[in-house]
Chain A
C-alpha cells in the first residue's frame, strides 16, 4: 500500500485553509480513496485531506421545504433516518442498494457525489429530485444544481480548493420518486443501470408534471434524459405513454459495452424499467 501524507483538520475552516494552500485529495469514509492506495488503478493521490472529523458536515435536517443532508452522511445514516424514510423513501431505497453493511456504514453521500462515478448509485436520485450540491471553500459557499455538477467522465464542477459540504433536496408536494438499480448480484454490486424517476401529480389520474429522469451507468457520467422527460411532461401513465417513452429513452442514450454489461442490454433494460415504472404508476 502507498501511504500518502494525510492531514486531519479539526474544523471546516482549517480544511478550507489547507485546500487553499495546496492540492489535496479529500477523503471521507474512504471506501473509494483507500482502494486507490494500491496504485493498481492509476497513480494514487499525493496528499490526503481527511474530512472525517468535520462534524459541521454531518446531520440530516428539514430546512423549510428542503431536506438537507451533510456531505458526511453515510448510507446507514440515510437508512436509519426517520426524516428520509418519511419524506424521501426513494433515497433510503437507493442507500440500501449500495454495497453492503460495511460500505453503508462508511460511504458518504458527499463522497459518492465527488467521486463522480458514472455508476454512482445515489446520483440518479439526486438528478431526479432536482438536488443542489452545496460546495464550499475559503472563498465561501456556492450551490450547484445536480444536473450541472457532473461534467464528464469522473469530472465535476468542483474547483480544486472546493469540497462538497451538503446536499439540498427540495421537497415538492405531490411528487412521486422511484428508484431502480440493476446490478450483477443482490449486494456488493456496481450497477449496470440505475434509474431515478420523479414526477408531480396530485392524483394517480393527473397528468405528469415536472418529470425528471436520471440515469446511471448509461453514459460517461450520470445524466438526465431531457428529451424523454419532455415527452412525458403533461402525459398520463397510459400503455401508449409507456411504450413511446421506452422507445424514446432507448433512442436517447448511448451506453457502452464494458466489463459489467453490454450497450444493448443497458439500452433495453433502461427502456423496460421505465416502461415498468410507468405501468406501475398507472396501475394497469
Chain B
C-alpha cells in the first residue's frame, strides 16, 4: 500500500506492504538507523519513537497505521542534524541530549535513542519531574549499562532547565542554558 506520513518534519511517501513494521520502514526504507531493534516484541523499548507525540515501540506498529500521521525519531532531536560529512558534536545537541552527555546517561548507547524519545515525550508532557514520574516514563525502556541512575538524573536536569527557562519568560534567549 502507499503510505504518506511525516518523519522529523520531512514528508515521506512510500509503497510498502501494510504489515511492514514501522521499525523496518525507518531503518531500511528511510535509512534512519538511529532507531534500534532490541527484541522485536515490545519488551525493551530500544525502538521507541514518537507517533503523533506519543511513545510507541516501532517494532509493534504496522506501517498501515502510520499513514497520515507524524513520526519523530532520534535523528530529529538534535538542534543541528549531523551527517556522514559532519559528525555529531556536543554543540549540535538539544537540551535533553546535552543533559545525557553531561551526566553520563549514555554508556553503550544502544538503548539511548529510545530512552531519549521516552525522555522527550516526558518533558513535552510538562509533568513535574519527580523521581517516580521519570521512572514510570522510562519503565518501557530497558538499559543494562547504567542502572538508570544517570538517565534519571539527565531527564531531571533537562526538566529543571526547561522549568528555569519557562520561569525566565519569553524575553530570555538562553532557553535554559546551563
So, do A and B actually touch in the complex, CB under 8 Å? yes
Q: Are A37 and B56 in contact (CB under 8 A)?
A: no
Q: Are B1 and A8 in contact (CB under 8 A)?
A: yes
Task: Determine the chain A residues whose CB is within 8 A of the CB of B1 once the complex forms.
Answer: 6, 8
Q: Are B140 and A106 in contact (CB under 8 A)?
A: no
Task: Determine the chain A residues whose CB is within 8 A of the CB of B34 once the complex forms.
Answer: none
Closest approach, in angstroms, between the C-beta of A7 and any C-beta of chain B?
Answer: 7
Contacts A50-B62, A103-B57 aside, 12 further interface pairs with beta carbons under 8 A come to A1-B20, A1-B40, A3-B17, A8-B65, A34-B21, A34-B62, A50-B65, A101-B55, A101-B136, A101-B139, A102-B45, A106-B60
A34 touches which one: B18, B60, B121, B139 (CB < 8 A)? B60
Which 8 pairs of residues, A with B, have the shortest CB-CB distance? A100-B140, A187-B139, A6-B18, A100-B139, A3-B17, A6-B19, A102-B140, A3-B19
Q: Is B54 an interface residue (CB 8 A)?
A: yes
17 residue pairs of the A-B complex, CB under 8 angstroms, read A1-B40, A6-B1, A6-B62, A30-B61, A31-B60, A34-B60, A34-B62, A35-B60, A50-B18, A100-B139, A100-B141, A101-B136, A102-B45, A102-B55, A103-B140, A186-B139, A187-B139
Chain A 28-49 against B: per-residue CB contact (8 Å), 1 yes, 0 no? 0111001101100000000010
Q: Is B41 an interface residue (CB 8 A)?
A: yes
Q: Are A102 and B21 in contact (CB under 8 A)?
A: no
Q: Is B71 an interface residue (CB 8 A)?
A: no
**Quick one: which of B39-63 are within 8 Å of A by CB?**
40-43, 45, 48, 51, 54-57, 59-62
Specify the chain B residue showing the minimal Cβ separation from A48. B19
Q: Is B118 an interface residue (CB 8 A)?
A: yes
Q: Is A210 an interface residue (CB 8 A)?
A: no
Q: Are B18 and A106 in contact (CB under 8 A)?
A: no
Task: Determine the chain B residues whose CB is within 8 A of the CB of A119 once the complex forms.
Answer: none
**Residues of B at under 8 Å CB distance from A?**
1, 17-21, 24, 40-43, 45, 48, 51, 54-57, 59-62, 64-65, 67, 118, 121, 136-137, 139-142
Q: Are A102 and B42 in contact (CB under 8 A)?
A: yes
Q: Is A76 an interface residue (CB 8 A)?
A: yes
* CA of A99 to CA of B67, assembled, Å: 25
Q: Is A105 an interface residue (CB 8 A)?
A: yes
Closest approach, in angstroms, between the C-beta of A38 and any C-beta of chain B?
Answer: 6
Interface SS of chain A: helix, strand, loop or mixed?
loop
Q: Is A27 an interface residue (CB 8 A)?
A: yes
* CA of A86 to CA of B42, assembled, Å: 31
Q: Are A34 and B140 in contact (CB under 8 A)?
A: no
Q: Are A101 and B118 in contact (CB under 8 A)?
A: yes
Q: Are B56 and A106 in contact (CB under 8 A)?
A: yes
Task: Determine the chain A residues whose CB is within 8 A of the CB of B21 once the complex forms.
Answer: 1, 34, 37
Chain A 2-29 against B: per-residue CB contact (8 Å), 1 yes, 0 no? 0111111000000000000000000101
* CA of A99 to CA of B42, assembled, Å: 9
* CA of A102 to CA of B137, assembled, Å: 9
Task: Determine the chain B residues whose CB is within 8 A of the CB of A3 once the complex forms.
Answer: 17, 19-20
Q: Are B56 and A52 in contact (CB under 8 A)?
A: no
Task: Determine the chain A residues whose CB is within 8 A of the CB of B64 once the complex forms.
Answer: 6, 8, 50, 52
Contact (A99, B61) CB under 8 Å given A1-B24, A34-B21, A35-B41: no
Name the residue in A29, A100, A187 with the highest tally of chain B Cβ atoms < 10 Å from its Cβ.
A100
Chain A 94-113 against B: per-residue CB contact (8 Å), 1 yes, 0 no? 00000111110110000000
Q: Are B140 and A30 in contact (CB under 8 A)?
A: no
Q: Are B65 and A101 in contact (CB under 8 A)?
A: no
Closest approach, in angstroms, between the C-beta of A77 and any C-beta of chain B?
Answer: 11
Specify the chain B residue showing the minimal Cβ separation from A105. B54
Contact (A48, B62) CB under 8 Å given A3-B17, A102-B140, A188-B140: yes
Closest approach, in angstroms, between the C-beta of B61 and any C-beta of chain A?
Answer: 6
Contact (A102, B48) CB under 8 Å given A30-B60, A50-B62, A187-B139: yes
* CA of A27 to CA of B19, assembled, Å: 10
Closest approach, in angstroms, between the C-beta of B122 and any C-beta of chain A?
Answer: 9
Name the residue in A3, A4, A7, A48 with the highest tally of chain B Cβ atoms < 10 Å from its Cβ.
A3
Name the residue in A6, A7, A34, A103 with the highest tally of chain B Cβ atoms < 10 Å from its Cβ.
A34
**Quick one: which of A132-180 are within 8 Å of B by CB?**
none
Task: Determine the chain B residues whose CB is within 8 A of the CB of A1 once the complex forms.
Answer: 20-21, 24, 40
Task: Determine the chain B residues whose CB is within 8 A of the CB of A188 once the complex forms.
Answer: 43, 139-140, 142
